[in-house]
Amino acid sequence: MPGEFYIEGKQQKVDLTEIKNIISEVQTAITQVQNSITTLVTKSEGLAPVMGSVIQNWQTAESNVVTIGAAGVRYKVHSLHLSIHNLVGTSITVRFYLPVNGAERKVYEQSFNAVTDPAGLWLINGTLGIHETLRVTLQSNDAADNGKSVDYDFMLEAMS
């Protein structure tokens, strides 16, 4: 009979139903894992790159360049570039602010020299996970930088 066989010398039937059920369960589990992997890979597509330019009085006060993300929404920031090619200050300070337990805190600060450092600053190179807004500011030590534009470019990936 299908699903049965005899063990030689014992001449007794062995029921394979339990083994067939286990194989079916394993096949179902494999299909579920394959579907989960497909969903993860499909959802990992990055969002369109964001590019822009902002004009501020950079020497007068620390000013916002760009805000990345949204409150309560999870993103991976893969890259952030700023261009200081229009600036002439010898101390261009870039700062990042993120809410930490509900209160915005400075989490990064670095100074650059617009005269000697590269015009393009690669500030995030890798993956930075955020679930609130990341605010990026800039301040110059030279009044000649007031009214000049600073370009930005970043790449995000939405997290599920």
> Are both 54 and 82 inside the same structural domain?
yes
Q: 0.85 cut: is pTM over it?
A: no
> Are both 55 and 109 inside the same structural domain?
yes
> Are both 35 and 58 inside the same structural domain?
no
> Are both 76 and 54 inside the same structural domain?
yes
CATH number of the domain enclosing 98: 2.60.120
Cα–Cα distances in angstroms (integers) from residue 117 to residues 60, 65, 106, in the given order: 22, 19, 23
Are 150 and 54 spatial neighbours (Cβ–Cβ below 8 Å)? yes
> Are both 57 and 109 inside the same structural domain?
yes
> Are both 114 and 137 inside the same structural domain?
yes
pLDDT tens per residue across span 54-69: 999 999 999 999 999 9
> Are both 77 and 124 inside the same structural domain?
yes
Domain that includes residue 24, residue range = 4-43
The residue that leads in pLDDT, 28 or 13, is 28
In a 13 Å sphere around the CA of 44, the CA atoms on its Cβ side amount to 8
Q: Which helix (H) or strand (E) segment is 38 a member of? A: helix 17-43
Q: How confident is the model at residue 149 (pLDDT cuts 50, 70, 90)?
A: very high
Strand duo 63-68 + 134-139: pairing: antiparallel
> Are both 54 and 27 inside the same structural domain?
no
State the total domains in the chain: 2
> Are both 70 and 121 inside the same structural domain?
yes
Cα separation, 118 vs 140, whole angstroms = 16
Return the structure tokens found at 82: 């700023």
pLDDT at 1 over 70: no
Burial 15-42 (b: 16+ CB within 10 A, else e): eeeeeeeeeeeeeeeeeeeeeeeeeeee
> Are both 60 and 80 inside the same structural domain?
yes
Cα–Cα distances in angstroms (integers) from residue 89 to residues 54, 60, 86, 119, 140, in the given order: 17, 12, 10, 12, 6
